[in-house]
Amino acid sequence: MIDAAELIDNDFLRQFELKVEDELAKIEYSLQERKIFLTKLIIPEAVFSEDFQNDFIKLVFQNIEERNLSVVPTSPEIAKFIRKNRQYKSMLPVGVRI
């Protein structure tokens, strides 16, 4: 259902976008130095599922990892995702604990 080619980093609106079934899922962010603050997760009800949410966040994390950025999750859903998926804890900046 989710394809990496569909993920768009809309730097003008400062959000990652994924279009699925004519709906737009987004993760809003703020970029400061080498850190990306993931501030808000928006997934339309029409396409929402735990699996979709997890796949979408994983896709965004892959993009961030390729850019060598640290992740600061200010969205509760994304912080919860990191707690469940410990392999992404290494992407947190020094001093940030979840």
For residue 26, is it within any domain? yes
For residue 82, is it within any domain? yes
For residue 35, is it within any domain? yes
For residue 96, is it within any domain? no
Total residue count of the chain as it appears in this document: 98
- Beta-sheet strands, E only, within 1-98: 7-10, 15-20, 23-32, 35-42, 70-73
pLDDT for 1: 58
| Domain count for the chain | 1
35: tokens are 């850190």
Q: For the residues 29-34, what does the mean pLDDT come to?
A: 95
For residue 18, is it within any domain? yes
pLDDT for 5: 60
Q: For the residues 18-47, what does the mean pLDDT come to?
A: 95
CATH of the domain at 33: 3.40.630.30
For residue 97, is it within any domain? no
User: Interior CA angle at 12 toward 44 and 14, to 5°?
Assistant: 50
For residue 20, is it within any domain? yes
- Cα-Cα-Cα-Cα torsion 21, 63, 11, 37, nearest 10 degrees, comes to 110
Asked if the model's pLDDT at residue 3 lies above 90, the reply is no
* pLDDT, tens digit, 9 for 90 and up, residues 60-74: 999 999 999 999 999
For residue 98, is it within any domain? no
Range of the domain at 13: 4-91
Separation of alpha carbons 86 and 3, rounded Å: 23
Q: For the residues 23-33, what does the mean pLDDT come to?
A: 96
